[in-house]
Amino acid sequence: MNDTIAAISTALGVGAISIIRVSGDDSINIVNKIFKGKDLTKVKSHTINYGYIIDNREIIDEVLVSVMKSPKTFTKEDIVEINCHGGVATTNRVLELLLTNGARLADPGEFTKRAFLNGRIDLINAEGVMDLINAKTEKNRQISINKLNGKASNLVKELREKLIKIISNIEVNIDYPEYEDIEVLTNEKILPEIITFKNDLEKIIKDSEDGKIINEGINVGIIGKPNVGKSSLLNALLEEEKAIVTDIEGTTRDIVEGKINLGGLILNIIDTAGIRETDNLVEKIGVEKSMEIIDKVDLIIFVLNNNEAITEEEIKILNKIKDKNSIVVINKIDLEKKIKLTNYNKKIIEISVKDNIGIEELKNEIKRIYNIEGIDTKDMTYLSNARSISLLKQSLLKISTSIKNIEENAPIDIVELDLKNAWELLGKIIGETYSDELLDELFSRFCLGK
């Protein structure tokens, strides 16, 4: 028997209504003890009941109480929801009464955790619940609802079904070999199936990475020498005077950030201290942070000054960023051209923040890199978070190993073992198997009362 948990499910503050949710075997009894109205132990399931919350004889609030009996509830347990008047004093008092009458304060996410443990939802659905609550853009909302309603889970379930077919094909053929030798079987029959499966899996990984980008946005770091116009560019992109701009070198000492929504893609843009040798301690720390940013962000915008010759330091940075997602920008094209960039064969965008030239082109280049042009027409069914993507990739590794083993004529049961491992890893995405640590970590990120 599970103990009965209670929490305030609405945001705490002044509002017309607050909802206090109670779930567990004893929830109807507990609420009934503090309710004046119909006998809640006798009302039908899924009814809303008018009455008062009382403490002995004192009326605490006038309320509507929803009674929902197991199993057709969010947690699959008996759930009672008390709709009381909003406001901190009333809600807290009602919650206190529930706690003194036998309920326990729920942990963050505990209702959803119970829904998962009782088999009502899988882990992707649960993550969808959390994502939906935290969704800040319309695209976030669409991705989250597709996780919550099971569309994203189906991607994994379909993969697992395909894999089971391949595995059972192997088993059937081991038990009743229609092929005389196992090598012919694996090479002619199983190998093409696994290769097709690998392609499907790779496509889902690629889509999921796109989904992660749409869902979480990307971190963009603006780096470059002092005075090239990094802060000016940040302000231009944000359309706001967020960072201080002066003609003094070393103006920006610490990181300045701002967000924009670029056609559905959230950019978290980070302006950094200009990179140069310096003896000033504060500036030095800033410069170190700027160098670290290069490795941390998803996209680097490296700003150069059109009006100055390129320096050794800048050539070093160009080399450092060449294998990363980066855009080289030459600013101040309103001034005389003194820069010469030889041996650089990637695209360069020329801008003048002062005269508002090239900013749109820069934005379009970011859209192009992240392939977000058709974002409005996509169906937004993505796995989209780091946990799922990592498991998909682990599964892909197992599949690749199985292909390699077949090609090297390894025994078929070794191949089968890899496929089974891949299948189990996919199962972890939906929570077919899980560890307590994972659940604790995942649900602790939920808000209280959900």
To ligand GTP, the closest distance from the beta carbon of 302 in angstroms equals 11
* From the list Mg ion, ligand GTP, none, partner contacted by residue 232 (C-beta under 5 to 8 A by kind): ligand GTP
Is residue 58 a contact point for ligand GTP (CB under 6 A)? no
Q: What is the DSSP string of 308-363?
A: SPPPHHHHHHHHHHTTSSEEEEEE-TTSPP-----S--S-EEE-BTTTTBSHHHHH
x-or-dash string of contact with Mg ion, 139-168, rule CB under 5 A: ------------------------------
- Non-local (6+) Cβ contacts of 274 within 8 A are 224, 225, 226, 227, 228, 230, 249, 250, 251, 252, 287, 290
To ligand GTP, the closest distance from the beta carbon of 243 in angstroms equals 7
Specify the residue, 100 or 280, whose C-beta has the smaller distance to ligand GTP: 280
* From the list ligand GTP, Mg ion, none, partner contacted by residue 247 (C-beta under 5 to 8 A by kind): ligand GTP
Is residue 331 a contact point for ligand GTP (CB under 6 A)? yes
Looking from the CA of 239 toward its CB, the CA atoms found within 13 Å total 6
Is residue 395 a contact point for Mg ion (CB under 5 A)? no
Q: Which residue is nearest to ligand GTP (CB)?
A: 274
* From the list Mg ion, ligand GTP, none, partner contacted by residue 249 (C-beta under 5 to 8 A by kind): ligand GTP
**Count of C-beta atoms within a 10 Å radius of residue 26:** 20
Residue 426's closest CA among 84, 161, 106? Answer: 161
To Mg ion, the closest distance from the beta carbon of 192 in angstroms equals 57
H helices, E strands: number in the chain? 15, 13
> Which of 208, 231, 305, 352 is close enough to bind Mg ion by CB under 5 A?
231
What does residue 141 show for φ and ψ, rounded to 5 degrees? -60, -45
At 238, list the tokens: 């944000």
To Mg ion, the closest distance from the beta carbon of 262 in angstroms equals 22
To ligand GTP, the closest distance from the beta carbon of 340 in angstroms equals 19
Cα(301)–Cα(221) distance, integer angstroms = 6
To ligand GTP, the closest distance from the beta carbon of 202 in angstroms equals 41
Number of residues that bind ligand GTP (CB under 6 A): 24
Residues 255 to 294 in contact with ligand GTP, rule: CB under 6 A: 273-274
Task: Give CA separation, 272 vs 200, 291, 320, in Å.
Answer: 41, 9, 17
Residues 200 to 259 in contact with ligand GTP, rule: CB under 6 A: 224, 226-232, 245-247, 249-252
Number of residues that bind Mg ion (CB under 5 A): 4
At 137, list the tokens: 């853009």
Is residue 272 a contact point for Mg ion (CB under 5 A)? no
Neighbour-count burial for 251-273, b at 16+ CB within 10 Å, e otherwise: bbbeebebebebebbbbbbbbbb
To Mg ion, the closest distance from the beta carbon of 124 in angstroms equals 42
Residue 91's closest CA among 169, 18, 35, 11? Answer: 18
Looking from the CA of 362 toward its CB, the CA atoms found within 13 Å total 27
* From the list Mg ion, ligand GTP, none, partner contacted by residue 66 (C-beta under 5 to 8 A by kind): none
* From the list Mg ion, ligand GTP, none, partner contacted by residue 228 (C-beta under 5 to 8 A by kind): ligand GTP
Specify the residue, 222 or 265, whose C-beta has the smaller distance to Mg ion: 222
What does residue 445 show for φ and ψ, rounded to 5 degrees? -80, -5
> Which of 144, 252, 305, 381 is close enough to bind Mg ion by CB under 5 A?
252
Specify the residue, 213 or 294, whose C-beta has the smaller distance to ligand GTP: 294
| Packed helices 110-117 and 123-134: angle between N→C axes, nearest 10 degrees | 160
Cα(303)–Cα(82) distance, integer angstroms = 57
Specify the residue, 148 or 256, whose C-beta has the smaller distance to ligand GTP: 256
* From the list Mg ion, ligand GTP, none, partner contacted by residue 317 (C-beta under 5 to 8 A by kind): none
Residue with tokens 């801008």: 351
Is residue 354 a contact point for ligand GTP (CB under 6 A)? yes
- Which spans of this chain sit near Mg ion (rule: CB under 5 A)? 230-231, 251-252
- Which spans of this chain sit near ligand GTP (rule: CB under 6 A)? 224, 226-232, 245-247, 249-252, 273-274, 331-332, 334-335, 352-354
